[in-house]
Amino acid sequence: MKRILRIIETASNIGAVFSAIFMILIVCLIAVEIFLRALFNTSTLIADEYSAYMFVFVVMLGLSYTFKEKGHIRITIITSRLGEKARNYLETVVLFVVLAILVFSIYHSAMMVYDTYSLDMRADTIAETPLYIPQIALPIGYTIFALQILGEILKKFIKEDGK
Kindly identify the residues of this chain, within the stretch 40-69, that bind another protein according to CB under 8 A. Answer: 41-43, 45-49, 51-56, 58-60, 62-63, 65-66, 69
Task: Indicate whether 7 belongs to the interface with another protein (CB under 8 A).
Answer: no
Closest approach of another protein to the CB of residue 70, in Å: 9
Cα angle 43-133-138, degrees, rounded to a multiple of 5: 115
Q: Which is nearer to another protein, 44 or 154 (CB)?
A: 44
Mark 99-128 with x for binding to another protein (rule: CB under 8 A) and - for no binding.
Answer: --x--xx-xxx-xx--xx--xxxxxxxx-x
Q: Which is nearer to another protein, 1 or 10 (CB)?
A: 10
Closest approach of another protein to the CB of residue 102, in Å: 9
As a residue count, the chain comes to 163
The β-bridge partners of 122 are: 130
Task: Indicate whether 33 belongs to the interface with another protein (CB under 8 A).
Answer: yes
Q: How far apart are CA 141 and CA 136, in angstroms?
A: 9
Stretch that binds another protein, among 3-11, 70-78, 154-162 (CB under 8 A): 70-78
How buried is 92 (Cβ within 10 angstroms: 0-12 exposed, 13-18 middle, 19+ buried)?
middle
Interface positions, 140-159, toward another protein (CB under 8 A): none
Q: How far apart are CA 66 and CA 35, in angstroms?
A: 33
How buried is 27 (Cβ within 10 angstroms: 0-12 exposed, 13-18 middle, 19+ buried)?
exposed
Stretch that binds another protein, among 1-9, 76-84, 152-160 (CB under 8 A): 76-84
**Residues ≥6 apart with Cβ < 8 Å to 159:** 88
Closest approach of another protein to the CB of residue 29, in Å: 8
Task: Indicate whether 160 belongs to the interface with another protein (CB under 8 A).
Answer: no
